[in-house]
Amino acid sequence: MTHIITHPTPAMPLTAGELLPWVVFVGILSLTTLYFVGGEQGATSIVRGNTIHEFVHDGRHLLGFPCH
- Give the three-state DSSP class for 57: helix
**Can you tell me the mean pLDDT for 13-32?**
93
Count of Cβ atoms closer than 10 Å to residue 53 Cβ: 17
Spell out the domain ranges in the chain.
20-62
If phi > 0 it is left, if psi is from -120 to 50 it is alpha, else beta; for residue 42 that is left
pTM: 0.63
CA distance 48 to 42: 10
Q: Which of 27-31, 34-38, 63-67 has the highest mean pLDDT?
A: 27-31
pLDDT over 80 at 44, yes or no: no
